[in-house]
Amino acid sequence: MKTAEDFLNGQIILIDKPLHWTSFQAVNKLKWALISKLNLPKKFKIGHAGTLDPLATGLLLVCTGKFTKRITELQGQAKEYTGTFYIGATTPSYDLETEIDQTFPTSHIDEALIHETVKQFLGEIDQKPPIFSAIKKDGVRLYEHARAGETIEIATRKTTIHEFEITRIALPEIDFRVVCSKGTYIRSLAFDFGKAMNSGSHLTVLRRTKIGDYDVNDGIDVIAFEETIVPN
C-alpha cells in the first residue's frame, strides 16, 4: 500500500474516468480522499495531464506531489482514442452536449468513400477547435461566448493524426480508432470528417485508451481507487 510519503514524493495514478464526470471532479475526489485518509496537507499538489470532456470516458493521468512537475511532459505525449461518429447530422458542440442543428444526405456514402476520406486526415492537418471548448479568446473561454450566442472567429491550429482507423461501419454510425498529437479535438475531427464526405457528422462516443505508454486497461475507477487508500 502507498503511504503519505509516497504520494508526496510523487505518483502517477491511472484513472479510468467515468461518463459525465469532469476531469476536475475526478482529481478533486482523489485529492480530498488522499488528504482525509493520509493526513496530507491541504496544499498537497495534485493535477491531471490532459482534460477529458464530461461526455468522454477513459484514461486520465493524475500526478501527485513532486510528479506534478511532469504534467507538461505527459501532456505532450501521443494519445489514442476510440469512439463513434454519427453521420448525417451536426450539433453546435460537435458532440451530444447540444441538440442536432442540421441534417445532411448520406445516400452517397459507402465504405469506399469512408476509407478514402480517412486518408485526408492522416499526418499534419489544420484543425479549428469547437466553439464549445475551454480555449480562451480575448480572455474569455470559447464556450462562454457560445452560450451567450456570440459569433466568434476561431483560428485554425496545426495538429497531427498519426493513425486513423475505421473499426466498424453501420451507418449512420462509424466507429474509429485515432492516435493523435497534443491539442487534437476529436469532436472537430468528427465534424470535419462529415464535411469532407459532403455530409455532416458529430461525435456520440469517445474513450481515451492511451497516453504515451500508459494504457487505460491499467487504470482504476475513481471510487475503487479511493477504497484502496489505507488510512494512516
Q: Which residues are catalytic?
A: 53
The DSSP line for 85-148 is EEETEE-TTSSTTS---EE---TT--HHHHHHHHGGGSEEEEEPPPSSSS-EETTEEHHHHHHT
* Strand 46-48 with 57-64, pairing: antiparallel
Angle CA(50)–CA(208)–CA(196) in degrees, nearest 5? Answer: 100
How far apart CA 141 and CA 150 sit, in angstroms, is 12
